Amino acid sequence: MIKASLKLASSFRNKMILIFFAITIVPFIVFAYYAYMKSIEGIQNANATFSMSYLQQAKANFETYLTQVNDRINDLIGNKSLQAWLDREPESQEEEEAFAVDMLALVYQHMPQVDALRVRVYPMRPSLYPNYMNTMGVSPQVEREAWFQASSESVVPTWHLTMPEQGLYGRPLLTYVKRFTGLNDRKPRGLVVTDLAEDHLRRFFSPSRRMEGQKFLIVGQDGTVLFDSNENEWTGRPVPSKRFMEISEKASEGAETLHMDGEEKLITYAKMNSEPWTVVSLTPLHAMTHPIKTMNNLLIVFLAIYLICSVGVVIYITMNFTQPVAKLVRLMRKLEKGEFDYKGPTSSREDEIGWLYRGFESMTRKIEALIDQTTLSERKKKELELQVLSHQINPHFLYNTLESIRWKAENHGRSDIGEMVSALGNLLRLSLNQGKDITTVGREVDQVKAYVQIEQARMGMPLRVLYFFDEDMLSLPFTRLLLQPLVENAIHHSIRDNFEKGKVILSGYVEERDIVIEIIDNGRGIPDSVLRQLDSEETDSKAGRRQGVGLRNVNERLKLYFGAGYKLSIETGAGMGTKITLRHPVLENEEPEEAGGIQNAN
């Protein structure tokens, strides 16, 4: 499965399709997603800023309202009649009934000023005022309830939440309980109990109609919801998010996106200054993102159309570009197998594909020409090798015969003949090189010296041949039979007519990775006809072959072995002599034998 997937992905056509989708569809999707996320983020930030501003204003108004309620309650507590009536407990039923009438009238008189659902004044011992308590619809045994006892013992006002099933009005009531004492002493007189209904709280915390599902909460210090603007859905229950409680404990206000009640909500909160409560705004994210749903639907439609158009473009590219390239690939595979006998591809297109087809056809024809040229070169190389091998017939017999001639010449007192025969033997030994193509620069120079010695003996006069070689290059590997033909050419065709003044200079050095050897003479130079025939394919005239065979042989061998960059460089002219530069690469992997001849066979 994996191999099949890799093979599928390696196809040029499939790569083009993948690249096309990568540079068109993927960036579009990424951009659309990025734009969508940034839109959501912008809407959240804007809504969080607006909600926080609204929450801060609503909190300030609510705290002002609570302060006003507390001030009106203090006015009621400061009433001298109320203080007097609660200064002592009733001694008879008639006094308790009179107390009830007077107290209820006083409370009803102050209720509009307090701006609350109900205001009630409880004596410290309600059980002693049964008629008064029953008239208010409260059991005289209320003093046994936990909230009453806690408020009776607290010097600071307390709050008490009454749930619907417990409330007189069938809805939750947030009750403010304040214990008060005498005006001139610290003796507790009673409790003022003020009930705030949800209508009073909704005046300050009302959700926007444009935000579906938005609600406001008032959360107590223990996490209990004291007020829920959405029909008291969570009133009396803990906030359904421990994460929110952890966050709200660390900061007095803030905005977070949390998962609550089964959906993501934007939560803004602010703690009140006068009470240990936290005012909270909850807005579902889907309500905020509703305005961009239409844009998202339009984006999806556009993406579908864009995808269809992209598929069409892919089909067009496949038919007009990748399939022609695939056809070329199949032809190239045939070419790899050596199948040249097929009809080449043709195309009249003027674009890059047409150029590719025509270039492939031209390349095929050039390959065929190069193969033919290589075959011809190999044939010429074999011919040159056969010429060299023709000189290797029974070398031991020749060496032994020459050695016998030298021995007899010396016995008859003809040392000059002996030296000439010895030089000839060395020349043959160095030329044959035990049948190997690679010798050393030193052995090639020794061969030249042996040849010069024979020429001097044959002509009966000295030849001025000078040698200048770096010592460290004499041991470098070198192709045999390259220098002697060039020196022979210089002696016989340049300085032959003036041996007294003529001279030949051989010098060698290493330049970068090449061995450079220069053969310079002060003779009459090389004729232009010979130079023109040096790189020609055929030599027609017999004179041309006689005069240029040495140069041609060396030049051809250098090109065959090392390439056209290593052919001979010749500078010549009438009256200026000749300078031949031979370049030979330094061979790393060859290990030629040290200088020394083949031992005579017995």
CA dist 228 and 423 (Å) reads 124
CA dist 486 and 464 (Å) reads 15
Mean pLDDT of 240-250: 88
Give Dmax (Cα) for the chain.
183
- Highest mean pLDDT among 271-285, 416-430, 434-448 belongs to 271-285
CA 476 to chain centre: 50
What is the structure's pLDDT at 597?
35
At 340, the pLDDT band (50, 70, 90 cuts) reads low
Burial class for 462, CB neighbours closer than 10 Å (0-12, 13-18, 19+): exposed
Tell me the three state secondary structure of residue 346: coil
Domain ranges for the chain, please list them.
44-290, 340-384, 391-585
How far, CA to CA in Å, does 207 sit from each of 2, 63, 174, 256, 506?
A: 57, 18, 20, 18, 108
What is the structure's pLDDT at 466?
93
Angle at 412 between CA 408 and CA 413, to 5 degrees: 115
Instruction: State in words which class domain 391-585 has.
Output: alpha beta
Interacting residues of 52 by C-beta distance below 8 A, sequence separation 6+: 253, 255, 268, 270
Residues 467-526: pLDDT tens digits?
999 988 999 999 988 998 899 888 888 887 777 788 999 999 999 889 999 999 988 888
Rg for the chain, CA atoms, rounded: 59
Residues 287-329: pLDDT tens digits?
766 666 677 777 778 778 877 887 787 787 777 777 777 777 7
Mean pLDDT of 131-149: 90
- The secondary element (H helix, E strand) that includes residue 307 is helix 293-317
Q: What percent of the chain has pLDDT over 70?
A: 79
What is the structure's pLDDT at 461?
78
- Helices 352-389, 542-562: axis angle to 10 degrees equals 120
In DSSP terms, 161 is beta-bridged to 174
Mean pLDDT of 125-150: 90
What is the structure's pLDDT at 596?
35
**pLDDT, the chain, mean:** 80
Do the beta carbons of residue 121 and residue 145 sit within 8 Å? no
DSSP string, 228-265: ETTTTSSTTSB-S-HHHHHHHHH-SEEEEEEEETTEEE
More confident residue, 580 or 553: 580
Beta strands in 401-448 (DSSP E): 438-440
At 543, the pLDDT band (50, 70, 90 cuts) reads very low
Residues 48-87: pLDDT tens digits?
788 888 889 999 999 999 999 999 999 999 999 998 898 8
Residue 152 has pLDDT above 50, yes or no: yes
Residue 580 has pLDDT above 90, yes or no: yes
Residue 119 has pLDDT above 90, yes or no: yes
Looking at the structure, give the CATH architecture of the domain made up of residues 44-290. 2-Layer Sandwich (3.30)
Residue 223 has pLDDT above 70, yes or no: yes
Residue 541 has pLDDT above 50, yes or no: no
- Extract the tokens encoding 249: 């404990």
What is the structure's pLDDT at 344?
59
CA 157 to chain centre: 65
Residue 122 has pLDDT above 90, yes or no: yes
- Extract the tokens encoding 31: 């951009």
Residues 389-417: pLDDT tens digits?
555 444 544 555 666 666 666 666 666 66
Do the beta carbons of residue 268 and residue 53 sit within 8 Å? no
How far, CA to CA in Å, does 562 sit from each of 72, 384, 517, 557?
A: 115, 15, 16, 8
Minimal CA–CA distance to 125: which of 108, 99, 149, 101? 149
CA dist 531 and 525 (Å) reads 11
Do the beta carbons of residue 76 and residue 110 sit within 8 Å? yes
Mean pLDDT of 178-201: 90
Phi, psi of 139 (to 5 degrees): -70, 140
Q: Sheet containing 215-219: which strands, arranged edge to edge?
A: 225-228, 215-219, 278-284, 263-271, 253-260
What is the structure's pLDDT at 593?
42
CA dist 516 and 574 (Å) reads 25
- Extract the tokens encoding 445: 């120079």
